[in-house]
Amino acid sequence: MFVAATSRCFPDLPLEDAMHRLVDLEYSYVELMLHETGGHIKPSEILADLDRAAMLCRQTHRMTVAAFSVDMETPDEGLYYRQFAAICKLAKASKVVTLTVRSSELGTPFNAEIERLRALVALATNESVRVGLLTESGRMTQDPDTAVVFCDNVKGLGITLDPSHYVFGPQAGANYEPMMKHVYHVRLRDTNQSSLQVRVGQGEVEYGRLVNQLSKCRYDRALCVDIIPQPDIDQMAEMRKMRLLLESLL
């Protein structure tokens, strides 16, 4: 395992400046946010100019890109899959193995979600890339058992585990250990039962236990810090504390 950080830890900075900050904080791996809203590279831009997107992905100042986070917003189904196919090509060109995607919102028919996920995994497999489904409150993966069922029904699908959503929110206290064998990627911040993000050291995420559970399943990928800047809190100090905490466990 190794420690990484998402590019949205510095969401208001251009990608190059965000990379500079992470290098200054002694991070060596990054998860790039390819989000239509709030990301550093938009899926629509990737489809329009794949070569330019590949050039941007190479400008990471010696940092290794550990994963891509993907969030497309187009209602056009054909365009949606064309954008995802372009992202898969970008991942292959950038030697990125894992793409994180969001599950559909609560209320989406189960079979429709299975079909969507199978289509995404098929496109990714064509480029030797794998898909990790993000665990997230307000979406179908907020229930860890449902997330496991998705993996059981979609061959090749894995999980991007964000344990904060099982500490805070409607599934607080849920047992997510059964999904460990499916984990492709991990995102972390400190969390307690009353807030999704608190200052490092003030939360209830059991990092040591989590690392032990992942080790038992031979997980050897990123522990990715995903701390969103908050008013009156030193973001650089929080990022540094989290890196040191995670490295102490490895």
For the chain, the domains span 2-248
Helical segments of the chain, H only: 15-24, 43-48, 50-58, 77-93, 110-126, 144-153, 207-216, 235-248
Distance CA(199)–CA(141), nearest Å, equals 25
Q: Which fold has domain 2-248?
A: TIM Barrel (3.20.20)
Please report the DSSP string for 64-130 in residue order: EEEEEEEE---S-HHHHHHHHHHHHHHHHHTT--EEEEEPPBTTS-HHHHHHHHHHHHHHHHHTT-E
190 against 59, higher pLDDT: 190
What three-state secondary structure class fits 185? Answer: strand
The mean pLDDT of 111-137, rounded to a whole number, is: 96
Distance CA(229)–CA(222), nearest Å, equals 21
Tokens matching residue 154: 């979609």
Angle at the Cα of 90 from the Cα atoms of 37 and 146, rounded to 5 degrees? 65
Instruction: Find residue 133's DSSP bridge partners.
Output: 101, 159
Looking at every residue in the chain, the average pLDDT score rounds to 94
Burial 136-157 (b: 16+ CB within 10 A, else e): bbebbbbbbebbbebbeebeeb
Note the pLDDT of residue 58: 84
The mean pLDDT of 232-248, rounded to a whole number, is: 95
Q: What is the pTM of this model?
A: 0.93
Distance CA(33)–CA(132), nearest Å, equals 14
Percent of the chain whose predicted confidence (pLDDT) is above 70: 100
Note the pLDDT of residue 57: 87
How many angstroms separate the most distant Cα atoms in the chain? 46
**If 0-12 CB within 10 Å is exposed, 13-18 middle and 19+ buried, where does residue 51 land?**
exposed
Q: In this structure, how many other beta carbons lie within 10 angstroms of the beta carbon of residue 101?
A: 22
Span 54-91, pLDDT tens digits: 998 888 878 899 999 999 999 999 999 999 999 999 99
The mean pLDDT of 29-44, rounded to a whole number, is: 94
Distance CA(15)–CA(32), nearest Å, equals 9
Note the pLDDT of residue 60: 80
First to last CA, the chain: 7
Decide if pLDDT at 147 tops 90: yes
The mean pLDDT of 133-162, rounded to a whole number, is: 96
Residue 231's pLDDT band, with cuts at 50, 70 and 90, is very high
Tokens matching residue 17: 């400046």
